[in-house]
Structures are given as C-alpha cells and as structure tokens.
Amino acid sequence: MSTFRNRILKVDLSTSTFSEESFDEGVVHDYLGGRGFGAKMLYDRLQPGTDPLGEDNLLIFVAGPLAGTHAQSFSRTKVFFKSPLTGGYFKSAAGGFWAPELKYAGFDAIIVRGIAEKPVYLWVHDGKYELRDAGYLWGLDCDDTHTLIREELHDPRVRLACIGPAGENGVRYAGIFTDRRAAGRGGGGMVMGAKKLKAIACRGEQPVEAADKEAFASAIKEQLAAYRANPACVNFAKTGTQIAEFTNLLGMYPVRNFREGVLPNWQAIEGDAYAKLRARKEGCYACSVHCGNLTRVYTGEYAGAWTEGPEYESTWAFTGPMGKADIGLTIAADKLCDDMGMDTITAGSTIGFAYELFEKGLITKKDTGGITLKYGDNRHVMDLLRQIAYRKGFGNLLAEGSIRAARQLGHEAEKYAIQVKGLELPAYDPRGAKAHGLNLMTSNIGADHNSGYGGQEVFGSPVPFPVDRFEVKRKGELTKWNQDQTAMLETGIICSFVPSWGGITEEVFGKLMAAGTGTADFADVKYLWTVGERIFNLERMFNVREGFGSKDDVMPERFSTETLPEGPSKGHIFEQNELRRDYYLARGWDVDTGIPGRAKLEELGLAYTIGK
Amino acid sequence: MSTFRNRILKVDLSTSTFSEESFDEGVVHDYLGGRGFGAKMLYDRLQPGTDPLGEDNLLIFVAGPLAGTHAQSFSRTKVFFKSPLTGGYFKSAAGGFWAPELKYAGFDAIIVRGIAEKPVYLWVHDGKYELRDAGYLWGLDCDDTHTLIREELHDPRVRLACIGPAGENGVRYAGIFTDRRAAGRGGGGMVMGAKKLKAIACRGEQPVEAADKEAFASAIKEQLAAYRANPACVNFAKTGTQIAEFTNLLGMYPVRNFREGVLPNWQAIEGDAYAKLRARKEGCYACSVHCGNLTRVYTGEYAGAWTEGPEYESTWAFTGPMGKADIGLTIAADKLCDDMGMDTITAGSTIGFAYELFEKGLITKKDTGGITLKYGDNRHVMDLLRQIAYRKGFGNLLAEGSIRAARQLGHEAEKYAIQVKGLELPAYDPRGAKAHGLNLMTSNIGADHNSGYGGQEVFGSPVPFPVDRFEVKRKGELTKWNQDQTAMLETGIICSFVPSWGGITEEVFGKLMAAGTGTADFADVKYLWTVGERIFNLERMFNVREGFGSKDDVMPERFSTETLPEGPSKGHIFEQNELRRDYYLARGWDVDTGIPGRAKLEELGLAYTIGK
C-alpha cells in the first residue's frame, strides 16, 4: 500500500491514443514526487528547442504523493510545460480539489502531448479515460465550462482543470483553472489551448491509503497542532493572503510600474477592507486553514461583482499598476480573469506597463483604440481585460505580455517591461527586500515569488538566520535556502504559504511523505534538502539546455538605477550584480555564465545533464 | 404508503417562523393535488384585495403527487401566487429537478408568507429547514446563485428555485428559476423578490413510494409504450418545442406586434436551424423525452452565446416582435433572460410593443434613451433586456409590462399592448386559431397558451371532435375541453406538452394517480374531468372575488378590427364577442358578466365561493 497510484496516464492528442506508465523506482527515490516528477519528466521527455505551442510540447499534470489524504494542504495540482511566455521550464500550481479527484480516479499524473484535430476534453474516471467532443464548449468561460461538463457527465462532483477564452485565443499568460483556483502563471492555458484541449475532467472513488496508517495519522496530528498553535497560521486563516498592509508599511508595494513603493489610500484595499466584503471563507481539499474568501461588492461602480479572492497579488495587479486603490475593481477584475482564464499578475502588470508607455509618449491613443491611460484612472481596465482575452484591438498587443509587447513597440519601450525571463514581477518591490528580489531574478520560471519566497523579509519567518531586508550580504545563501526548501516541499506539492507562516517543519513533512508513500528515505531531512537542491538544479539545466544563462538572470534596469522615492524603503536600489554573484557562489554555479558547475551536478546526481 | 408526503411546510418570513400542516382529506379527495391544491390553498388563504407585493401575498410551491417517482413527465414544480402583473390568480410551472428534491427532502409543498427583513434563502433538507442569510447573494444572476448556494451547502446535488436581478429589482414579469428551467410567467419572481427570498434550496434522500407498487409500475409501462409508439412524441423528442415551421406555414406566427402572421426568412429560426446548433439534448427528472436542447452560437455577432433552449415561445419573443429572424439573438437573449431571471415572452412582446409605439410616434428617442426602434433592426434588444432587468433607463418603463407601460404613456398607446388581463400573448395569432385565441382570452391567468392549448388547431391532436382552426362554432366547447383537461392533468403537474402529442390518455393518468397515491377514485376518468372543471371554476371564482369578469375576457382590439394581411391566415379576424358568448354558454357561466352560475358552482362543489 502507498499513497502513490504508480500509474501515469499518457495521451497523445494528435493520434487520439492513450498509454500508461508506471513509476521508475530510481526516479521516485531521487525526485520524491510532485515538482520532482514534473521537472524530471519535462527534462527527460522534451527536446531542446521544442516549440511551446507545437505538438511536441508536453503538458504534465501532477498530483502530489499525498493528494487525496488528510495530510494538510498537500492536495494541490501542479502543471509542467515549456512556457510560451518565458520559453523555458515552467511549473504552475493550483489549489482546490482536482488533484485528489485525479488520485481517486486512479492516477498520479497525466502527460498530454500533441494537438487535437478538433476541440476535445479528457474524461478520466475510475481508472478509465476517453476523449470527448468539446466543440460546443469552445469559447465558453471557465465557469460555464465547469457547469456544462458536469451536466454532460451527469455528475456534479466531477472536478475540472480547464481553460477559458484566453487560453483558446492564445493569450500568452492564459492559465488553467479548476473551479475558481488557477495554475495561472506562465501560459499553461495557452499551451492547453494550442493543443485544443478544453479541459481534463476527473472523478473516482478509489481511496488513497497510506503505507503506514498509524504513523501517517500521527504526523497529521502533529501538523494540525502546529497549524493551531502558530499565531501566524491562525492569522493567515483569518485574513488569507491580504498583506497589502505589510507591504505598504514596508514601502515595497509596487506602484505605477514599480516607480513607487506606497499606494495612496492603500487602507482601502487591505485585509480589513476585504473582510467587510467577505461573504464566506473558502478552502481547498484537506486544508483546515480555509484562507480563501468569497467577496462581494455592494456599492459603487462595481456593485454586484463577486469573486473568490482576490488574493494579494491580484489585488495589487488592479491597483498598484494603475496607481489607484479601488477595491471594487479588484473584485470585478479578478472574477473576469477567472472567467476568461488568465493570470491576473501579468494582466495587471502589462496594463500598468502600457500606462507608463502612454505617459512617456511611447504609445498614443492611436495604439490604445482611442483611450487615454492615465495613472489614477482605472476606468478602462475591465474593457482592456476583455480585449486581451479575445485578442481584440489594443488587447491583441497586451496579450503578448510586457516584454514581447515592448519588442513590437521598439527598443525604448523594453526597459519599462517589469519582468524577468518574460514573466512579470509580482507585488514586491525588490529594492525593499533583497532576497525577494534575488529569488525573482533567479527563479527558474521567471519572476515568480513562490519559487523561493523571502518570507523572512516580510513576516520574519521562516528563519534560518537573522535577516535584514535591505542587507545584501548572505542573501545568496538565504535565497538558495528558500528556493531549495520550496523545491523540497513541492515534492509533496504542499501549499507554498505553509512555510511562510511556520505551519510545517521539514521533520513533519518528511514523516508524512515517508509514512504515506512507504519510502523510508523520505523521512531523512538532510536527504530532503538534497532532493530540493537537485530539483532546482535540474530545472536550471533544462533552461541551460535551452540557452539560458546569467544573461537571463537580470532585473529590469529601473531597480538598479532608480531609488524608491518615498516611504520606508526610500533611497534603496536593488544591487543586482553583487546579489547575483553572491547567489551563484552559494549555488556552486559559475559566477560568469550562471551554469551549475560539474562538481555540483555530480554531487546532486545530475551528471547526466552535463553537456546536453 | 403513498407518493404523498402529507407534509406542507409553512414559513412566515416576517417573523422567521415555521409551521407544518398535514393534508385535509376532503381537499385531497376533491382537488387531487398539484394545481388543485394550489388553487384551493390560494383561494382559502388569500383575502381579496391582497397586495401582490405585500406581506400577505402567498407564494405556494407545490410538487405533484407523483414527483420523484418514475411516472413520466410528472416531476414538474408549480408555483401559485396573486400576480403583480395581472392582479389575479396565477400559476406558473417549471420542469427540471426541484419538485422531486422537495419530495426527497420530505415535503409536498411550501407556503411562503411575509417579507424578510433582509435577503434570505430557505434551506429544506431531509425533513428539516432553516432560513439562511442571502445578503451576499442578492444581485447575483440565477446561474451564480445556483453555484454559490451549492458550494455553501457543500452539496452539488442541491436543487434550487431562485430569482435573479429581475426579481429583486421588481420587474413585473420576473420568474422563478431552477437550473435553467423557469416558472417564468406572471411575476412570481417579483413576488419572491418583494419577500426578499432569494431561493429555496432542497435536498433529501427520502424515497417516494407508490401505494400500489405493482399497478404503478404497470401504468408507467403503459405510459412509456405510448411515448415510444406515438410518432408525434418521437418527433417532439427530436426537435423539442421548435414549431416555427408549423405556425409560419399556418400564417399565425405573430410578427411586428401581431400585425402579420409570417416572419420573413422564418426558415432561419425553425427546428432544423436549431438542430445545427444543438450541443446536446437535455431532459427533466423522469422524462424519457428529453425535449430540451443545449444550443450554441458559433458565428456572427452572438458567437460564443449558448443557452438551454430557446423554446419556441422564446424564439418568437426575440424575432417576431422585432420582425427579424436572427437565431443568434434568440440564443443570447434567452440566456440573458435566464440569467437575469425573467419571462422571455413578456420581455420580447413588451419590447415589440415599444417598436410599434416608436413607429407610430407615440414614443421618441427621448423616451428610449436615444435609440431608434425600427422593425428589422434588433441591435438594441440585448441592451434593453439588461435595462429592464435592472430597471434602468427606458427599461424601467418596459419592466412594467406592456399594459402598465401603455397607461403611463397615455390612452392612445393602450391598444398596442397585446395582452389579456395584463399578461402578454404568446406566439400564436388568435386570428389563425380560434380555440387558441379563446383560451388566451379566457384563461384565468391571462393570455397563457398552456392553460388550454389548442393543439387541435396546430397539430391536429388531441381530438375530441373534428376541428377547423378558422371555424368559430363549437370553439367554446373545445376550449372548455382543453382547459378542463389541462386542469385535470395538472393535478399531477404532468408536463403540458404530453397531451398535445398524445402521450397520455386520461385512463393511464388516472391509473398512475390512483396507484401512486392510493386513492381509488383518482382512477375514475369521469371524476377526473369533474375535478378539472372544478379547479378551473375555483380559479375563476378567485378572480371574480377580486372583481374580474367579462370585461377582463377581452382581446386587444387589433384582433377584431384588423385582418391578417398575408399568408395562409390572410383575411381572418378574431370574432371575440361570438366566441366569448359561446364559451360562457359551454361553461355554464352568465353570458353577460362571465360569472359562473350558481347551478354550475353547486354541481362542482364550489357553493362555498358564492357571494364571496
């Protein structure tokens, strides 16, 4: 018995054929599961130079080893693919209920290849699978897609991972949505759309049982006790991700395309403001935290709007970039992005980028379809989001993301694209938090906060050693620690928030993984750290094979040349060269090329990646 | 054992209190169930002069005696109330799955009284019930309301009867929606909105068992055999209600506010055209017919739109009144009305009425908010529907329905309101089908085709005697027959379509009712006819008590004074005086006042209504 199904479903949409695989024992031992499996499969099965939108790109859906059990916050879904936004390795995760349902349906993972002739969806149920016509679903938003597929299958308990119009229409930052949770970043939805795969529906009744039930139950108790005892966790359960108060008080809430660090009237969009609009709490499978919030607008221009969320990043995406704190818009725009199926961060940031271009005169009303983009005026945001999702008008340019849009507009525009490797920065100004910035600069998927969240600099945890957010020293070491810990914990696809508020120790994580899967080595914390580092380096080698290197670990020049003008982070810049070098050294990578050294690769069992 | 629960739930929203009632045996015997119960309860419990929007109006939800069993097409929901549109007795029915779920939850009926202080919804489950906060749901469309309540109750199998923005905002023809089926006509949704009742959610597991299982199963077999054997039924299963081909070929498809009987290019909106857009068939609980169609627009202005339907009447509502056959609009507008929660027939007809007023110069762009209403141009219909649902702009007037809008605009406008008793006519020109017209003129709820559908004149069935559609003679007798048969069959709330295509005989109906409920008298066909007539007359006496009489059995003057100008019904008028008199005589009603005579009332056991 194990929480693993030992069953991977492979579907080739070009030929409408299926096959199955079981696990390679060595891979299980070396990569544990979750992100480890995804990184390994993507590295092994993708040729360098693969077109992200071509037949050969893969879309790999992975449920964590413990998904479907009562291990807390372990039931997330991770999707792996070569990104049409970054051109590199990508991973994106979603909460909700899809991964457990995949396990109940009999599988640990699904590998999708090829391009269907006509729109289809994949139906996986109780060990069986089939492709079904999605012609009538093509063009529908994510919400209607859920409703109609559940009806068609005569089972309201079916769980879906699906795309909306944004994915179908080739928005480069279209995501994959399950109920109202999203694997939002990096364009997985665009890959899915290119494959003409509207959805993967799962349903099953096969129980997931731990190898050592007693040890597993005991570890869950330890985990739950930590959740209950930890004030940060209790607080997180209350407010969810709404941390605009923290980041504004630290002066690192990005405003007007990352030119300022404090949003005027930010109190209008912080936790207490959302609490007043909260209809109820929402949670994911087997997570006692229920950090989600169903919010509702009752008055003003957006009266009637509601959403699940917005999470902090989405709140920011529709306030900071426009320089206006309008809670109604954050709720309406968040829901619109959920319905259309696209990433709020890149959507909001790309619109904010256009605001600056307009201000600088690099675009005019001729480009925008006649509208004026002016900071403090957010009236066109909803319309622009619709235009993006349907690639209409000015939205057709914005649907490319900021750096591609900039390249179309000419060299001068490029420096205003606030992104790394093509992925737009989230809601943390790196000048106010150097480990945050260093992670954004070096993450394998571009400027992703969740790849190595510098919680120390915002919340003071987790704490491997004392940290000053402005300090440059030891930030390489800290970032490596954050990134490797994340990679380690994401073998279980535990929610990234958990370590931020100290909800789990590596020991408890290891106990759960070992007792669940029946592999004793997984309880060895030192080994877990090795696996975390291995995964991070393997992802790096995927990108190296694609031609990535130190030239891609670069922040937009603004952060090195302009200081923050006001607030508690006033006067700071982001010392990117110093930080990068420190990081490479901590990583054992070549300080010039940013390529992992042979010794490091051999130490990590990644010698097979050398010279590829 | 009986298919009756013998349990009625009563809720007073003003006091947030509940009580229960069991059946009065005499009432069961005399009124059988369904429409009989609704009519009797409404008559007994409402004082004359009750404000339809006040505390004292009742909203009575009734599941049929056989709902939740496998008796075919018997699981509809009927809602009874005093109508804010007609000021009289009203009944409105919906298909779907709500009535069975009410039975499974332990009840036959729910009587709602009072007005809640704040928006609430009623949750009825496994014999228990509670009022829950609906503050966060207020303003949401019907679709989102379903989703969020199911989530809140953690049960996707919950069934809802709910209102959308139209009901909340006081549109006089707002309906009550369950999934995408509607008790659409007469403003039940407005009553529900006035009561601040957003929804009634039901869920249960209590089986519904027939009194005589063997006889019941055998009668269902007979019923199913008739469904399969009858070509009209087989055809209905294929195309659903799309009969625009019939009515156009008969020259009785109302065009341009009932001035013409053939729609140019009607082929664009008949059965075959919808079949091309059909995504799948849809059905109600325990009905093998699956007459519903999920349709999808793939090209043109409304590309991306989809709906369940539209049914024939809705197709007409967004074509005939505007004088344009645009299939895309019918689908988009049908879904919009479902989402907003309002009756398509009155919505479309009232918009069409405005078209004629505009043409006649009785309203101008000053009234319409700047738009021009011109036959053949349907571009503003979607916008007008939204304005109606939110009572914004010109929509605020149209939300009153045609006759009230006309009265606001002055005497001249009134004759263009194509309605009886305040309820707009459906898609049959009475000049081409006299029994159709006579039913519309005399139905207790206003111009409702389903109260006594003249199927003989369109499809040639059911046939009590040979019928010529233009003939005036014996149409009183025929209409009484149609109306009484309908009232009889609606004691079981069997779908109104069934008799039209000969899917059930009175004998089989009686067998099912008797074997299900255990009341032997229900198998007596002669008795069933008496009950049908009793119900129709009781409803009439409800209206008499409210001041209704022959003055309210009046068709718009157009039908008596203008002949149809073209097509197979060319030259005909509707001989309303002759037809009315013939009908009153057939009914045993006073030929001048239209009030049922004492002898008739005593014969029917309705002496208690005399002089009230």
Q: Quick one: pLDDT band at residue A238, thresholds 50, 70, 90?
A: confident
B303 at the A interface (CB within 8 A)? Answer: yes
Sign of CA dihedral B307, B309, B314, B315: positive
How many CA atoms lie within 13 Å of B165's alpha carbon, on the beta-carbon side?
20
The 10s digit of each residue's pLDDT in A541-564 is: 999 999 999 999 999 999 999 999
> CA-CA distance, A106 to A83, in Å (whole number)?
28
> CA-CA distance, B325 to B269, in Å (whole number)?
6
Mind telling me how many Å the CA of B104 is from chain A's nearest CA? 18
Cβ of A150 within 8 Å of Cβ of B156? The answer is: yes
What angle, 0 to 180 degrees and rounded to 10, lies between the N-to-C axes of helices A402-409 and A344-360?
Answer: 30
Average pLDDT over residues A377-387: 98
Please tell me the predicted confidence (pLDDT) of residue B306: 97
CA distances from A513 to A93, A216, A222, A225 (A): 19, 8, 14, 18
Beta-strand ranges (E) seen in B283-369 are 292-296, 306-308
A392 at the B interface (CB within 8 A)? Answer: no
Q: Quick one: pLDDT band at residue B183, thresholds 50, 70, 90?
A: very high
SS3 assignment, position B281 = strand
Give Cα B546 to chain centroid, integer Å.
21
The 10s digit of each residue's pLDDT in B320-330 is: 999 999 999 99
Structure tokens of B585? 């005589």
What mean pLDDT, rounded, does chain B reach?
A: 96
Mind telling me how many Å the CA of A50 is from chain B's nearest CA? 32
Beta bridge partners of B307: B295
- Closest residue in chain B to residue A303, using alpha carbons only: B139
Cβ of B294 within 8 Å of Cβ of A148? The answer is: yes
The 10s digit of each residue's pLDDT in A433-487 is: 999 999 999 999 999 999 999 999 988 888 889 999 999 999 999 999 999 999 9
User: Which stretches of B14-96 are DSSP H helices?
Assistant: 25-31, 35-45
Question: Please, which residues have CB within 8 angstroms of residue A115's CB and are 6 or more apart in sequence?
Answer: A13, A14, A54, A55, A194, A195, A196
Among B306, B307, B336, B386, most A C-beta atoms within 10 A, so best to mutate, is B306
Supply φ then ψ for residue A396, to 5 degrees: -65, -35
B152 at the A interface (CB within 8 A)? Answer: yes
What number of C-beta contacts closer than 8 Å exist between A and B?
46
Closest of B146, B127, B268 to residue B201, by C-alpha: B146
A303 at the B interface (CB within 8 A)? Answer: yes
Please tell me the predicted confidence (pLDDT) of residue B235: 86
Cβ of B306 within 8 Å of Cβ of A144? The answer is: yes
- Closest residue in chain B to residue A133, using alpha carbons only: B279
Supply φ then ψ for residue A260, to 5 degrees: -135, 165
Mind telling me how many Å the CA of B593 is from chain A's nearest CA? 49
Mind telling me how many Å the CA of B337 is from chain A's nearest CA? 16
Q: Quick one: pLDDT band at residue A499, thresholds 50, 70, 90?
A: confident
- Closest residue in chain A to residue B145, using alpha carbons only: A306
CA distances from B338 to A137, B166, B320, B332 (A): 19, 10, 20, 10
SS3 assignment, position B152 = helix
Please tell me the predicted confidence (pLDDT) of residue B199: 98
For residue B426, the 8-state DSSP code is -
> CA-CA distance, B225 to B72, in Å (whole number)?
11
B165 at the A interface (CB within 8 A)? Answer: yes
Cβ of A136 within 8 Å of Cβ of B165? The answer is: no
The 10s digit of each residue's pLDDT in B127-171 is: 999 999 999 999 999 999 999 999 999 999 999 999 999 999 999
SS3 assignment, position B121 = strand
Residue with tokens 């997931």: A208
Q: Quick one: pLDDT band at residue B72, thresholds 50, 70, 90?
A: very high
Average pLDDT over residues A265-269: 97
B147 at the A interface (CB within 8 A)? Answer: yes
Cβ of A294 within 8 Å of Cβ of B148? The answer is: yes
A139 at the B interface (CB within 8 A)? Answer: yes
Closest of B369, B410, B365 to residue B386, by C-alpha: B369
Beta bridge partners of A307: A295
Structure tokens of B226? 């008739």
Average pLDDT over residues B15-32: 96
**Contact status, residue B499 vs residue B68, Cβ threshold 8 Å:** no
Mind telling me how many Å the CA of B304 is from chain A's nearest CA? 6
A147 at the B interface (CB within 8 A)? Answer: yes
Show which of residues 221-280 on chain B sit within 8 Å of chain A, judged by CB atoms: 279-280
Most distant CA atoms of chain A, gap in Å: 67
B296 at the A interface (CB within 8 A)? Answer: yes
Find out whether the peptide bond into B310 is cis, omega within 30 degrees of 0: yes
Please tell me the predicted confidence (pLDDT) of residue B319: 98
Beta bridge partners of B132: B121
- The angle subtended at Cα B118 by Cα B114 and Cα B120, nearest 5°, is 75
Beta-strand ranges (E) seen in A126-247 are 128-133, 159-162, 176-178, 181-183, 197-203
Choose between B611 and A345: higher pLDDT.
A345
Beta-strand ranges (E) seen in A22-163 are 59-63, 77-82, 89-94, 109-113, 120-125, 128-133, 159-162
Asked whether residue B96 carries a pLDDT value surpassing 90, the answer given is yes
* Out of A144, A147, A152, closest to residue B280 by CB: A152
What mean pLDDT, rounded, does chain A reach?
A: 96
Q: Quick one: pLDDT band at residue B351, thresholds 50, 70, 90?
A: very high
Please tell me the predicted confidence (pLDDT) of residue A245: 95
What angle, 0 to 180 degrees and rounded to 10, lies between the N-to-C axes of helices A142-152 and B142-152?
Answer: 70
- Closest residue in chain A to residue B304, using alpha carbons only: A139
Please tell me the predicted confidence (pLDDT) of residue A10: 98
A525 at the B interface (CB within 8 A)? Answer: no
The 10s digit of each residue's pLDDT in A74-120 is: 999 999 999 999 999 999 999 999 999 999 999 999 999 999 999 99
Residue with tokens 């469904």: B227
Cβ atoms < 10 Å from Cβ of B7: 16
- Closest residue in chain A to residue B151, using alpha carbons only: A282
Closest of A85, A77, A75 to residue A60, by C-alpha: A77
The 10s digit of each residue's pLDDT in B202-251 is: 999 999 999 999 999 999 999 999 999 888 888 888 888 999 999 999 99
Closest of B37, B84, B58, B327 to residue B185, by C-alpha: B84
Cβ of B156 within 8 Å of Cβ of A136? The answer is: no
Task: Tell how strand B181-183 and strand B176-178 pair up.
Answer: antiparallel
Sign of CA dihedral B354, B358, B362, B364: positive
Please tell me the predicted confidence (pLDDT) of residue A461: 84
> CA-CA distance, A435 to A437, in Å (whole number)?
5
The 10s digit of each residue's pLDDT in A328-340 is: 999 999 999 999 9
Please tell me the predicted confidence (pLDDT) of residue B396: 98
Among A133, A136, A158, most B C-beta atoms within 10 A, so best to mutate, is A136
CA torsion A564→A568→A572→A575, rounded to 10°? -110
Cβ of A143 within 8 Å of Cβ of B147? The answer is: yes
Report pTM. Answer: 0.95
Closest of B481, B474, B483, B484 to residue B578, by C-alpha: B474
Please tell me the predicted confidence (pLDDT) of residue A232: 85
The 10s digit of each residue's pLDDT in B564-585 is: 999 999 999 999 999 999 999 9
What angle, 0 to 180 degrees and rounded to 10, lies between the N-to-C axes of helices A231-239 and A213-229?
Answer: 80
**Contact status, residue B327 vs residue B169, Cβ threshold 8 Å:** no
Please tell me the predicted confidence (pLDDT) of residue A28: 95
> CA-CA distance, A272 to A242, in Å (whole number)?
9
Mind telling me how many Å the CA of B112 is from chain A's nearest CA? 25
Please tell me the predicted confidence (pLDDT) of residue B238: 87
Please tell me the predicted confidence (pLDDT) of residue A56: 98
Please tell me the predicted confidence (pLDDT) of residue B174: 98
A463 at the B interface (CB within 8 A)? Answer: no
Q: Quick one: pLDDT band at residue A356, thresholds 50, 70, 90?
A: very high
Please tell me the predicted confidence (pLDDT) of residue A230: 87
> CA-CA distance, A430 to A559, in Å (whole number)?
7
Beta bridge partners of B517: none
Please tell me the predicted confidence (pLDDT) of residue A500: 80
